[in-house]
Amino acid sequence: MSTPRFIPEFKEESVRQITEQDHSVADVSELLVASHIVPWSLCESFERIDPYNGLLLSPNLDKLFDKGLISFTDEGKLLLGTSITDEVLNKLGISKHSQISALKPENLPYLSRHRELFEFKY
């Protein structure tokens, strides 16, 4: 039997990791998506449930990230794919200066794989 793709504990652990670092997401956590950094279909079994293979993102960022149209540096700065223009970002309400916080060292190998998979030059 395969593991279900949505695991509530995956998002709960992502929220816990952020709140441990004094970042408050309690008021918007229901609006955020627990996004796998390395896509589910390319993960080993243990990576699918590893909370460090996850980021809490807004739905717009999640969709772009999941499709490999954006990624993030090890410092959390937004990286744009070649097909993403300022106009697209503006329409989605995303700043090209966006940055994610609460990254831990354990997230970085997954972010590196994401950038490699989607051919980001960093």
User: For each successive 10 residues of the chain (122 residues), what is the average pLDDT?
Assistant: 57 61 58 91 94 93 96 97 95 94 94 98 82
- Predicted local distance difference test score (pLDDT) of residue 4: 52
Range of the domain at 53: 8-117
Q: What's the rounded Cα separation, in Å, for the pair 6 and 65?
A: 17
What pTM was computed for the model? Answer: 0.80
- Predicted local distance difference test score (pLDDT) of residue 23: 47
Q: Is residue 68 part of a domain?
A: yes
Q: Is residue 2 part of a domain?
A: no
Domain count of the chain? 1
Q: Is residue 122 part of a domain?
A: no
